[in-house]
Structure 1
Amino acid sequence: MRTYLRRLADAAYERLLRAELSETPSHVAVIQDGNRRYADRQGGDAADGHRAGAQTTEQLLDWCDELGVREVTLYAFSTENFERPPEEREHLFDLITEKLREFADADRVHDAEVRIRAIGDRDRLPERVREAVDYAEARTREYDRLHLNVALAYGGRAELLGAARDIAREVAAGERDPGEVDTGAVEAALPEGPTRDVDLIVRTGGDERTSNFLPWQANGNEAAVYFCTPYWPEFRKIDFLRGIRTYQHREQSWRRTRARRALALVRALGGDAETPRARRVLRRFRDALPSGEREAVEEEVEQPAD
């Protein structure tokens, strides 16, 4: 009886969360933490936890497809994970190999037009994992509806360091002017990664850190971050919707801030050359302001377009 009532309550809360959401992140990055702790609490070993977590990953893809998320990046195996005990490491490689091939052949993946790609230093991976990556990428290469990036042997700092070294070599060889090094140059030097900046990072398991995950793509975009306590195998759709709500609140706050800054510029600069640009920003983001503030700026917004 208690389980039945809990399901009813969860269903009602899920409907409430869905009703609150008006914006969906384009790119969600997930740190799937807590598999081993979940297994330990259940009296199993690490392998049991990782396999239970893989089931949650499959559910996550369904939720993303349903909600219109266009890109998902999963932190499946970090560079730090190479320090884990050999037995656990090998089981993880076996599971990753199995799931990549399983996903690549699954009707649900092809029906949803999911493109699977690996990011990270794949040369450090065992041959069986590299072959599974090649197979999954080849089977889904033509799809573009939902991008699934699997981060394997991935480390954000190592990625940035490699890009910095490549640029430094070009400068030292006289192939690049130091004054030309900008964000575009850094992005071009980074290995092929996600197709979009990260809008939302989700981390399960209770730790409040992003663990060297996509620092360029997330921090540069000021991504929202949602930390939650459930271990990854326990992560529910309700938890995911809460994460999206966090993103929505952050996005609305960002829009309000942009509108207020633009309004301050319009009022302070008067006829300055920057005024037309500030007014365009104000027009774009005015709807993010509370009604009282929005009414107060109508006169500023309705000035003729420059």
Structure 2
Amino acid sequence: MIDRLRKPIEQLYAQVLETEIGDPPSHIAVIMDGNRRYADTQGVEKTEGHRAGADTTEAILRWSEQLGIEEITLYAFSTENFNRPEDEREALFDLITGKLREFADAEDVHENEVRIRAIGETHRLPERVQEAIQYADERTGSYDRLYLNIALAYGGRAELLGATTEIAGQVDRGELEPAEVTVDTVEQALLDGPTQSVDLIIRTGGNERTSNFLPWQANGNEAAVYFSAPYWPEFRKIDFLRGLRTYGHRDESWHQTRLRRGRAAMTVLAQKTKRGVAGIGRTLRGDPPASDEESAETPPKSVD
């Protein structure tokens, strides 16, 4: 009975959440964590957890299209993942290869003009994965309605180190003066990545860290972060919408902070104005200057 009621209740709750979101973020980055732990809870091989997570990947793409999100970046394989056991890596590479080709041929992808790109040190990936990346790029390269970035062999530190090395080389060759280095210089030196700054980072699986993911693109824009408890294969639309609501509340909180700062500034200005009026009165009467404490607490006398 409970299972039969769960789906309509979740659908109703999703509708309520959508009314609370307002304008969605333009760019969402997702750390798809928990595939292996999910497999452990189900008593299956870790590769089966990754396969279950691939279904959620398809779903989040669909949800993003429905909500008008412009760009989504998925953390599929980090540079640290190369340290995993070989059999697990190879199974994951097979899954990524198949999904890239499947997405590139999907009717929904072409109907919604989704641009599929891989970001990261993709030259480190097996040839079959690189070929699938090229295939997806060729099939969707002319689209720009929704950008789907798949982070493969990606590490934020490595990306920043590479950019730093590139800029240092330009300076060493006399092509660039150190004083000429700007934000634009760094962004041009970065590997091909997202087309815009990250507004919201979502991480599933319960861990509260961003794991070296898009540090330049996210921190520079003060991205909101939403940590979700469910493992990636269990991530539902209502969890996704909660993340979007977090972004909306972050924006609202920022405006409230500005209002509080504005009120505080007006209070200080009023106090300074009050002290100034008192000072004028003392000067006209020839009284000695008041102390700070007296200026704050003693009302000014009327001027004769």
Band of TM-score, shorter chain = 0.7 to 0.9
Please list every run of at least 4 consecutive aligned residues from structure 1 whose deviation after the TM superposition is greater than 6 angstroms: 262-269
1:259 Cα deviation after fit? 5.3
The equivalent residue for 1:67 is 67
1:173 Cα deviation after fit? 2.3
1:165 Cα deviation after fit? 1.1
The equivalent residue for 1:159 is 159
1:260 Cα deviation after fit? 5.4
1:252 Cα deviation after fit? 1.6
Equivalents in 1 of 2:137, 2:267: separation in Å?
A: 53
The equivalent residue for 2:108 is 108
**Structure 1: gaps of 5 or more residues:** 270-306
Q: Percent identity?
A: 65
**1:16 to 2:16 alignment:** yes
Equivalents in 2 of 1:135, 1:169: separation in Å?
A: 33
1:233-252 equivalent positions in 2, closer than 5 A:
233-252=233-252
Equivalents in 2 of 1:108, 1:174: separation in Å?
A: 49
Aligned-residue RMSD, C-alpha = 1.7
The equivalent residue for 1:302 is none
**How many pairs does the alignment contain?**
270
Equivalents in 2 of 1:25, 1:134: separation in Å?
A: 29
1:61-210 equivalent positions in 2, closer than 5 A:
61-210=61-210
Equivalents in 1 of 2:262, 2:131: separation in Å?
A: 52
The alignment partner of 2:252 has SS state of helix
Comparing 14-23 with 118-127, greater Cα deviation is found at: 14-23
* Letter aligned with residue 15 of structure 2: R
Q: Deviation string for 1:244-267 (max 9, x for gaps)? A: 000001112223334555677799
Comparing 149-158 with 259-268, greater Cα deviation is found at: 259-268
The alignment partner of 1:80 has SS state of helix
Q: Deviation string for 1:184-223 (max 9, x for gaps)? A: 1111111110001000000000100000000000000000
Q: Deviation string for 1:149-199 (max 9, x for gaps)? A: 000000000000111111112222222111111211111111110001000
Q: Deviation string for 1:96-127 (max 9, x for gaps)? A: 00000000001011111100000000110000
The equivalent residue for 2:57 is 57
Q: Deviation string for 1:38-83 (max 9, x for gaps)? A: 1111010111000000000000001000011100000000000000
Comparing 4-13 with 202-211, greater Cα deviation is found at: 4-13
TM-score normalised by L of structure 1: 0.85
The equivalent residue for 1:43 is 43
Which structure has the larger Rg over C-alpha atoms?
2
1:6 Cα deviation after fit? 1.5
TM-score normalised by L of structure 2: 0.85
1:14 Cα deviation after fit? 1.1
Flag the 1:64–1:127 CA change in 2: closer, same or farther, 3 A.
same
